[in-house]
């Protein structure tokens, strides 16, 4: 590396550090008392160092009953508004404090929230529903509780309505008490054995919570909570994880910073099985062969590996870069799925990759998608699962055929590293057109895949050559 390159790299790094330092990240302080047997959560939290957001909401799970929202300085309990917005709320209500005019909102650097919730404990599968569990569910399964942070909002999450920015990644200094637990884990820390734990971090994280009666295993800094695998299988699983991470690093040229914590748990339903990620934690939810041991099963192993690659890809598309606006869900989920498809092609058989493409095409037989440029809100997706996991990855794959893999990886990097308040269609245009530096080629791609009502058929024709 020559001296000019070294200086340029140092300036880029310094700019990044300055930008990070200027961004104000809320600090969560307080206490959580819970019982995995009773399904109760009692929360007393202070959200401090909040950025001064004029048009804001604080999201808190709809199953929580508010005692009060207070001004920390004088313990004055505010009157508050509570409402639901299906494009913001997920599993929560939106709280805000109106001013005396009713036309604006009271802004505070710090607020105190006290609330309690009681949730169903479903430990008997004979009494559970067939398919009723999901990522944002605060799930008590009889021996543990599972709650993500972004969607379930078991702790207060500030939301900037104008910028469509959710401050679910927070610094924190909290106590967790659970008299009927043997292990307690909060994202960004190591698990603590016992009934009480104090968790603190200056590094922002989404506060996934997993507490209950289970065992934790540490393998070279990677934790496995409630593992259903042998020691040999755990080591093999760790090797796979590292290989996938190194591949992503080599293609995206962005370091993969975290050691992963894996959680294996069961759903509060009979038939649900899925994975989700709240970095640095990946959670697998499923019974039997759909537990993490399914990676080693002839029946489910081929299904499991690409799914794990998808969740590992969410470090980039979802954590390193948090997408917003009407296309935010598409860019985040499609980004993870597209990376998973590249892992499938690189590490496994071509037939497995081709089968994934064929599956997506067949699943979209009767789907009439709105092209990217026509999406104005999440309702325009039609069927969200088909849009973000099937249609959008085919659009990416067709573009890959047009521009080549080198440019495709450059575009993926641009999607991750380009600064913008809104990751909308203008953002997609900017990143791809800048990557190509060829307006004629970009306009052709835009017309075929981003604006045309025949975008799906165009993509299938490009991919299949028919």
CA distances from 312 to 35, 151, 237 (A): 31, 19, 13
Q: Is 321 part of a structural domain of the chain?
A: no
Shared domain for 207 and 227, answered yes or no, is no
Shared domain for 198 and 51, answered yes or no, is yes
Q: In terms of pLDDT, which residue wins out, 52 or 145?
A: 145
User: How many other CB atoms sit within 10 Å of the CB of residue 166?
Assistant: 21
So what's the pLDDT on residue 301? 59
Q: Which of 264, 279, 313 is the last residue before a domain boundary?
A: 313
Q: Please write the tens of the pLDDT for every residue from 329-350.
A: 999 999 999 999 999 999 988 8
Shared domain for 230 and 160, answered yes or no, is no
Shared domain for 143 and 231, answered yes or no, is no
Shared domain for 180 and 31, answered yes or no, is yes
User: How many other CB atoms sit within 10 Å of the CB of residue 93?
Assistant: 20
Helices 328-347 and 405-417: angle between axes, nearest 10 degrees: 140
Q: Is 19 part of a structural domain of the chain?
A: no
Q: Is 3 part of a structural domain of the chain?
A: no
Flag whether pLDDT at 451 surpasses 80. yes
So what's the pLDDT on residue 300? 64
Helices (H), 314-391: 328-347, 350-363, 384-386
So what's the pLDDT on residue 9? 35
Flag whether pLDDT at 411 surpasses 60. yes
Q: What is the mean pLDDT of residues 442-446?
A: 97
Q: What is the mean pLDDT of residues 393-397?
A: 98
- pLDDT band for 433, please (50, 70, 90 cuts): very high
Shared domain for 140 and 257, answered yes or no, is no
Flag whether pLDDT at 10 surpasses 50. no
Provide the CATH number for the domain around residue 398: 1.10.390
Distance CA 195, CA 204 (A): 25
So what's the pLDDT on residue 6? 35
Q: Two tokens at 424? A: 């909308």
Q: Which of 148, 182, 214 is the last residue before a domain boundary?
A: 214
Shared domain for 197 and 283, answered yes or no, is no
Instruction: Find the domain containing 454 and state its range.
Output: 328-464
391 neighbors 330 (Cβ within 8 angstroms): no
Q: Is 291 part of a structural domain of the chain?
A: yes
So what's the pLDDT on residue 15? 37
Most confident listed range (122-136, 223-237, 291-305, 386-400): 386-400
Sequence-ordered strand ranges (E) for 251-323: 261-265, 274-278, 281-285
Q: Please write the tens of the pLDDT for every residue from 267-310.
A: 999 988 898 989 899 999 999 888 888 888 777 657 778 888 99
Shared domain for 62 and 148, answered yes or no, is yes
Q: Is 439 part of a structural domain of the chain?
A: yes
Cβ neighbours of residue 373 closer than 8 Å, sequence gap 6 or more: 425, 446, 450, 451
Q: Please write the tens of the pLDDT for every residue from 98-157.
A: 998 888 898 889 999 999 999 999 987 777 888 889 999 999 999 999 999 999 999 999
Q: Is 424 part of a structural domain of the chain?
A: yes
39 neighbors 119 (Cβ within 8 angstroms): yes
Q: Two tokens at 132? A: 């009723």
Q: Please write the tens of the pLDDT for every residue from 189-209.
A: 999 999 999 999 999 999 999
Mean of per-residue pLDDT scores for the chain? 91
Distance CA 123, CA 126 (A): 9
Domain count, the chain: 3
So what's the pLDDT on residue 220? 79
Flag whether pLDDT at 16 surpasses 70. no
Q: Please write the tens of the pLDDT for every residue from 64-107.
A: 999 999 999 899 999 999 999 988 889 999 999 999 888 889 88
Q: Two tokens at 182? A: 């043997």
Shared domain for 300 and 344, answered yes or no, is no
Shared domain for 171 and 240, answered yes or no, is no
Q: Of 316, 279, 283, whose CA–CA distance to 205 is shortest?
A: 279
130 neighbors 271 (Cβ within 8 angstroms): yes
Q: Two tokens at 358? A: 């064929």
Shared domain for 228 and 205, answered yes or no, is no
Provide the CATH number for the domain around residue 207: 2.60.40
186 neighbors 208 (Cβ within 8 angstroms): yes
Sequence-ordered strand ranges (E) for 49-191: 56-61, 64-70, 81-83, 92-96, 111-118, 139-140, 144-147, 157-160, 165-167, 169-178, 183-186
Q: What is the mean pLDDT of residues 367-375?
A: 97
Q: Is 226 part of a structural domain of the chain?
A: yes
So what's the pLDDT on residue 397? 98
Shared domain for 207 and 77, answered yes or no, is yes
Residue position matching structure tokens 């734990």: 197
Task: Give the side-chain half-sphere CA count within 13 A for 134.
Answer: 7
């Amino acid at each position: 590396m020559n001296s000019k390159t070294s200086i340029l790299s140092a300036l880029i790094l310094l700019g990044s550090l300055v930008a990070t330092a200027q961004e104000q990240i809320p600090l969560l302080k307080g206490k959580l008392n819970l019982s995995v047997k009773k399904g109760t959560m009692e929360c007393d939290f202070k959200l401090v160092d909040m950025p001064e957001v004029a048009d804001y909401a604080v999201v808190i799970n709809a199953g929580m009953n508010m005692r009060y929202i207070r001004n920390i300085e004088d313990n004055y309990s505010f009157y508050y508004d509570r409402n639901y917005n299906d494009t913001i709320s997920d599993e929560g209500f939106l709280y805000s404090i109106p001013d005396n005019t009713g036309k604006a909102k009271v802004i505070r650097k710090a607020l105190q929230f006290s609330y309690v919730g009681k949730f169903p404990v479903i430990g008997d599968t004979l009494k559970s529903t067939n398919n009723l569990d999901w990522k944002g569910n605060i799930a008590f399964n009889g021996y543990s509780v599972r709650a993500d942070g972004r969607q379930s909002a078991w702790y207060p999450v500030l939301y900037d309505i104008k910028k469509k920015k959710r401050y679910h990644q927070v610094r924190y200094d909290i106590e967790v008490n659970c008299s009927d637990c043997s292990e307690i884990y909060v994202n960004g820390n190591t698990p603590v054995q016992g009934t009480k734990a104090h968790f603190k971090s200056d590094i922002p994280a989404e506060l996934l919570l997993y507490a209950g009666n289970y065992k934790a295993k540490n393998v070279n800094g990677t934790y496995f909570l409630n593992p259903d695998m042998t020691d040999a299988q755990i080591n093999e699983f760790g090797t796979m994880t590292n290989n996938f991470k190194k591949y992503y690093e080599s293609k995206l040229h962005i370091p993969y910073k975290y050691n992963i914590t894996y959680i294996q748990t069961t759903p509060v339903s009979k038939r649900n099985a899925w994975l989700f990620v709240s970095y640095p934690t990946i959670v697998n939810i499923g019974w039997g062969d759909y537990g993490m041991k399914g990676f080693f099963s002839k029946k489910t192993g081929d299904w499991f590996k690409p799914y794990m690659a998808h969740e590992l890809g969410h470090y980039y598309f979802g954590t390193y870069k948090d997408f917003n606006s009407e296309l935010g869900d598409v860019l985040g989920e499609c980004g993870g799925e597209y990376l998973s498809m590249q892992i499938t092609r690189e590490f496994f058989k071509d037939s497995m990759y081709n089968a994934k493409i064929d599956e997506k095409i067949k699943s979209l037989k009767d789907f009439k998608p709105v092209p990217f440029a026509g999406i104005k809100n999440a309702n325009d997706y039609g069927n969200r699962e088909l849009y973000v996991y099937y249609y959008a990855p085919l659009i990416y794959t067709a573009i890959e055929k047009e521009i080549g893999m080198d440019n495709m990886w450059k575009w993926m990097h641009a999607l991750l590293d380009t600064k913008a308040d809104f990751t909308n269609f203008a953002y997609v245009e900017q990143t791809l057109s800048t990557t190509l530096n060829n307006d004629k080629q970009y306009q052709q791609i835009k017309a075929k895949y981003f604006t045309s009502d025949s975008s799906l058929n165009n993509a299938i024709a490009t991919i299949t050559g028919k």
